[in-house]
């Protein structure tokens, strides 16, 4: 999944959650499963980017690009975590 796909899924999840009570339990569980997968993917990307910064020689422009990418993934992960929290609140 690319970053554009991640953003598209995040948008879809938010839109689905706006429907709230109209969602079936199965739909909520599917959103939660997808959100958990996406959070895991973002965490893995952040860790990999961190290892690049810590373990390889990269020049300053490359380091800035890697740190920027880390920030993007951290933001997206946090936003998908919010989706998970909302889904869990609806399931409970």
Q: How many domains does the chain have?
A: 1
Q: What is the CATH number of the domain that holds 79?
A: 1.20.58
DSSP strands (E only) in the chain = none
Structural domain of 56: 3-91
Distance CA 38, CA 87 (A): 14
Whose tokens are 């373990």? That residue is: 55
Query: What is the predicted pLDDT for the residue at 92?
Result: 64
pLDDT in tens, 53-88: 887 788 888 999 999 999 999 999 999 999 999 888
Query: What is the predicted pLDDT for the residue at 23?
Result: 82
Q: Are 66 and 53 in contact (CB under 8 A)?
A: yes
Decide which of 39 and 23 is more confident.
39
Distance CA 35, CA 43 (A): 12
């Amino acid at each position: 999944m690319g970053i554009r796909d991640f953003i598209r899924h995040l948008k879809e999840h938010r839109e689905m959650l706006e429907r709230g009570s109209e969602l079936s339990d199965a739909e909520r569980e599917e959103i939660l499963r997808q959100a958990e997968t996406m959070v895991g993917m973002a965490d893995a990307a952040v860790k990999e980017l961190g290892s690049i910064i810590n373990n390889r020689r990269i020049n300053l422009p490359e380091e800035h690009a890697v740190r920027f990418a880390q920030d993007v993934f951290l933001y997206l992960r946090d936003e998908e975590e919010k989706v998970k929290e909302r889904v869990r609140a609806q399931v409970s």
